[in-house]
A and B are shown apart, each in its own frame.
Chain A
Amino acid sequence: GAVVSQHPSRVICKSGTSVKIECRSLDFQATTMFWYRQFPKKSLMLMATSNEGSKATYEQGVEKDKFLINHASLTLSTLTVTSAHPEDSSFYICSAWDRGYGYTFGSGTRLTVV
């Protein structure tokens, strides 16, 4: 089946620094990848939709300058949290969509900003 690899699984960073999270589709090409954020006891909130070779589409209320998304190839999308603050601490999950496999999720990244 389809596998999406997400790294790192956990990261702790200092306030003001930037963190990059990678999402790779291992055995299929994903023209579209999605980035979600999950707060404790909350739903998975879609942050942005990333299409290969074009700019990401951000959901309302998501700062595109803070959450930089790059989808440079059909197998890799990255989310960079810039100038991270403690309120950015969360669980970030990517998913890749393929016509044959549907949605496949990465294992998630626990970001803690101290």
Chain B
Amino acid sequence: DQQVKQNSPSLSVQEGRISILNCDYTNSMFDYFLWYKKYPAEGPTFLISISSIKDKNEDGRFTVFLNKSAKHLSLHIVPSQPGDSAVYFCAASEAGYQKVTFGIGTKLQVIP
């Protein structure tokens, strides 16, 4: 049972344009959401997070939007750069729990 779903396995975007990565979750107890970026043969690196009390969090070119009623979040990267090409994992955790549940990942390719 996949509690965190990333339905798009891959995404290609032209350099300079916006990349939008989507994530859906089924567990209503999740209240903290994270995005990680992963290059091949490396561990994931933290990108940005959002608490359920917010609907938007911005950090430079990266913005995460959370729609609690739809159990949906998205990561926007603008403008996209070739160095952003990586696999992006959406993750979620419940309040009081350190355990994080990951989605399957979306491979982003930014074309120069």
The answer to whether B49 and A102 have CB atoms under 8 Å apart is yes
- Chain A residues contacting B89 (CB-CB under 8 Å) are 43-44
B101 interface contact, C-beta 8 A: yes
Closest CB in chain B relative to A3 CB, distance in Å = 11
Measured CA separation A32–B39 after assembly (Å): 25
Residue of A nearest to B105 (CB): A43
- Chain A residues contacting B105 (CB-CB under 8 Å) are 43
The answer to whether B102 and A104 have CB atoms under 8 Å apart is no
Measured CA separation A104–B100 after assembly (Å): 12
The answer to whether A102 and B102 have CB atoms under 8 Å apart is no
Chain A contact residues, CB within 8 Å of chain B: 4, 6, 9, 32, 34, 36, 41-46, 49, 91, 93, 95, 97, 102-108, 110
Interface secondary structure of B, over-half rule: loop
Q: How many CB-defined contacts (below 8 Å) exist between A and B?
A: 52
- Chain B residues contacting A49 (CB-CB under 8 Å) are 98-99
Closest CB in chain B relative to A90 CB, distance in Å = 13
The CB with the most chain A CB atoms within 10 A, among B43, B49, B98, is that of B43
The answer to whether A42 and B42 have CB atoms under 8 Å apart is no
Closest CB in chain B relative to A38 CB, distance in Å = 9
Among B1-50, those with CB < 8 Å from A are 2, 4, 9, 34, 36, 41-46, 49
The answer to whether A6 and B43 have CB atoms under 8 Å apart is yes
The answer to whether B44 and A44 have CB atoms under 8 Å apart is yes
Measured CA separation A4–B98 after assembly (Å): 17
Residue of B nearest to A42 (CB): B104
- Chain A residues contacting B104 (CB-CB under 8 Å) are 41-43
Closest CB in chain B relative to A43 CB, distance in Å = 4
Residue of A nearest to B97 (CB): A49
Between-chain CB contacts (< 8 Å), 11 pairs: A6-B43, A9-B41, A34-B98, A34-B99, A43-B2, A43-B103, A43-B104, A49-B98, A93-B44, A105-B36, A108-B41
The answer to whether B43 and A108 have CB atoms under 8 Å apart is yes
